[in-house]
Amino acid sequence: MTIKLAIASDHAGFALKEYLKKNFVAVPVEWLDLGTDGAASVDYPDFGKKLADAVANGDAPLGVAICGSGIGISIACNRNPKIRAALCTDSTMARLTRLHNDANVVCMGERLTGTEVALDILKTFLETKFEGGRHQGRVDKLGDC
Contacts of 144 (CB under 8 A, 6+ apart): none
Task: Compute CA distances 62 → 39, 85, 118, 131, whole Å.
Answer: 24, 10, 16, 17
Positive or negative, the CA dihedral 39, 42, 45, 49 is negative
- Candidate list 11, 77, 88, 100, residue with the active-site label: 100
Residue 100 is among the residues annotated as catalytic for this protein: yes
Q: How far apart are CA 42 and CA 8, in angstroms?
A: 12
Closest of 120, 122, 128 to residue 106, by C-alpha = 122
Options 67, 77, 88, 107, the catalytic residue: 67
Is 11 part of the annotated catalytic residue set? no
What is the DSSP secondary structure assignment for residue 91, as one 8-state letter?
Answer: H
CA 116 vs CA 11, 94, 135, 139: distances in Å: 20, 14, 30, 30
Point out the residues that are catalytic. 67, 100
